[in-house]
Amino acid sequence: MCILNCVVQYRRARFDASFAALSDATRRGVLEQLGGADASITDLAEKFHMTLTGVKKHVGVLEQAGLVTTEKVGRVRTCKLGLRRLEEEAAWIERYHQLWDARFDELDKVVEELKRKEKVDGRKKRE
């Protein structure tokens, strides 16, 4: 029982960290930037018109979520995409996407049925 509960807690914490990291536009921008090429903290600060401290904080959040890794060589800290690929998060989102698609499909059926009935009722009134 504890193992299952621990796994659920770990997964929830990972999801929370991932979604918290992705909730900020700057952090999403950093991920997009790093998707093209590794970059130093200085490069990112220039790109996003931020202080080094501000960028370090954003990168720290991404690092905690496993989305970015950093390596310091001399005075330069280089950032690159982490190993986490957000597959579980994407699958979680897809489940809700499918749920909403199914609900909208049902709503479309109701609307079409109402339109059909309205058309039939309109014909009856004219006769």
Q: Return the pLDDT at 11.
A: 75
Distance of CA 45 to the CA centre of its chain: 23
Q: Return the pLDDT at 6.
A: 63
Q: Which value, to the nearest 10 degrees, does the dihedral of the CA atoms of residues 38, 48, 71, 37 take?
A: 0
8-state DSSP, 65: T
Q: At residue 109, what are phi and psi to the nearest 5 degrees?
A: -65, -40
Q: For the chain of 127 residues, list the mean pLDDT of each consecutive stretch of 10.
A: 62 88 96 96 97 97 95 95 86 90 91 86 67
Cβ–Cβ < 8 Å for 63, 69 = yes
Q: Return the pLDDT at 1.
A: 55
Sheet order of strands, 39-40 included = 39-40, 76-81, 68-73
